[in-house]
Amino acid sequence: MGILIHWKGILLNIDAAPPFGHWAALQHTHVKGVRMEPIVKGMKGPAVEDVQSRLAILGIEIDQAERDEKLFGDSTAHAVSSFREDSGLAPGDEVDMTCWSALVDASYRLGDRTLYLRLPNFHGADVRALQQALNVLGFACGTDDGYFGPHTEAALQQFQENVGLFADGMAFQDTYAYIERLRHVWEGKPSIVEAEERIGFARAAEVLENYRIAVYGEDPIARSVASRMWNIASATTETSGMVLCDSKEAIPADMDLVLELAGTGLPDDAEPRPTIALEECVNLSQRIGTAFAAAKERPAFIRMELTGISSYNGMFTSSDAQTLAVRLLDGVCAALNV
């Protein structure tokens, strides 16, 4: 017997499989309206076998006779109960949707699948292991939360560039080979998270959903950074309020904040305006928050100068643009998270 789920009024029987199976893929889509028939004591079949295999991956012992029969017996029930307790789930010995999701996440191992930035974010023990490795190796991606978000992508790009790989922010086998080669350096060591505060995924999504933010660039590099900010915001939440504009004249009328990115400073004879020079800024979110609060009307206009950070001599890479975009978006979200 497979795993029974209800979706849009249809009863589906899905044969459970290792992490690359159909149900694992469905579990990561977070489809609304899906509910799962619990796997309980007394059941037999592929679904029970899959649960037992995942528990075995985690080092939880199950009676071999039960595994041979694919039987959810006393030993399997005890193993499930132990897993639920270790995972902070409600006490019990059945595998419901919550337990199954946690079990799938926990059973992924680094290198099981290709990881990259997408919506919904990849999540699981393999992502957490990658984050730990990157943090220990000096490529800070924030707290090891097990979610592959924009900070993890930016850190991965920096790592790839550092070891001579194509810095695309996608964890393929070539990247895993380098991570594995350095396992003796990072395994078992605590993550070193950057001192600079970074807003969490959920809070960033809330800010992007509650504020209308327009962003545009004055020059090619600034436009590249602006575009990446918009891409990251869109990957953070489907209902992001960030709008990418071609120019100041194209800004919609209902914005709360307008960010003008520029690779050069204002001319000496230009009218003063709220401006933040990133090269000399170490408290970005506070600067943005102050400028936003001081604005006399909405939208608040803030000019972000990339002077000294971006250059046109061929040294400003796509990885640099992505890192800068993450920093800017993080600063904006932290500033508006009040």
Which pLDDT value is given to residue 9?
41
Question: Cβ-count burial of 178 within 10 angstroms (0-12 exposed, 13-18 middle, 19+ buried)?
Answer: middle
44, part of any domain: yes
Evaluate whether 334 touches 199 at the Cβ level (below 8 Å).
Answer: yes
Output the DSSP codes for 211-246: --EEEEESSHHHHHHHHHHHHHHHHH-TT--EEE-S
Give me the pLDDT at residue 266, please.
Answer: 82
Do 209 and 292 reside in the same domain of the chain? yes
159 with 214, same domain: the answer is no
84-128 pLDDT, tens digit per residue, is 999 999 999 999 999 999 999 999 999 999 999 998 899 999 999
Structure tokens at 129: 């292991």
- Out of 38-47, 71-80, 225-234, 285-294, least confident range: 285-294
How does strand 3-7 pair with strand 35-36? antiparallel
Residue 260 confidence (pLDDT): 96
Task: Identify whether residues 308 and 182 lie together within a single domain.
Answer: no
Which of 214 and 265 is assigned the larger pLDDT? 214
In a domain, 113, yes or no: no
Percent of the chain residues past pLDDT 90, beyond the cut: 53
- The C-alpha angle 293, 297, 302, rounded to 5 degrees, equals 60
Comparing 16-30, 198-212, 270-284, the range with the smallest average pLDDT is: 16-30
- Position 20 confidence tier, pLDDT thresholds 50, 70, 90: very low
Q: Note the pLDDT of residue 18.
A: 40
Give the three-state DSSP class for 4: strand
Give the end of a domain, one of 80, 107, 134: 107
User: Could you read off the pLDDT of 179-194 as tens digits, one per residue?
Assistant: 998 888 888 888 766 5
Please say if the pLDDT value at position 34 is more than 80.
no
* Higher pLDDT, residue 197 or 86: 86
Query: Which CATH number characterizes residue 25's domain?
Result: 1.10.101.10
Residue 171 belongs to domain spanning: 125-186
Domain count of the fold of the chain: 3
Predicted model pTM: 0.61
Residues 150 and 24 in one domain: no
Final residue of a domain: which of 46, 79, 107?
107
Is residue 229 situated within a structural domain? yes
Please give the Cα distance from 83 to 54 (Å, whole number): 11
Whether residue 214 sits in one domain with residue 311: yes
Residue 118 lies in a domain: no
CA gap 89, 106 in Å, rounded: 13
Structural domain ending residue among the three candidates 186, 217, 232: 186
One domain, residues 221 and 245: yes
> Mean of the pLDDT values across residues 274-283?
79
pLDDT at position 316: 73
Q: What is the mean pLDDT of the chain?
A: 84
Same domain, yes or no: 212 and 270:
yes
Kindly state the average pLDDT of the residues 237-265: 94
